[in-house]
Amino acid sequence: MMKTIVISAPGEMTVREIETPRPAGGEVLLQMLYVGFCGSDLSTYLGKNPMVQYPRVPGRHKFAPFGRRDRFRSLYMEPPSLHRPL
């Protein structure tokens, strides 16, 4: 299980536990350290984006370390599969 923020309706945001995704062939699972909440996410939370469907998992700007422990590198990801309605 993993935790995620869910915007269930305008002005309603909760933290939920969901199933941890299983990587497919050629994919890896990273532990996110930070997730940015951008202006688009704020518009979604405020109900000002008519193109958004709820519930919605915000945060398409992510930071996760990868590589050897003594030489971590940052990874900027914007996977469309994680920025979608539940």
Residue 48 to residues 35, 62, 86, Cα–Cα distance (Å)? 21, 23, 19
pLDDT score, position 61: 73
Tokens 């945001």, residue located: 13
Domains of the chain, residue spans: 2-10+30-82
Half-sphere exposure of 47 (CA within 13 A, CB side): 6
pTM of the shown model: 0.65
* Residue range 49-72, pLDDT digits in tens: 999 999 998 877 777 776 655 555
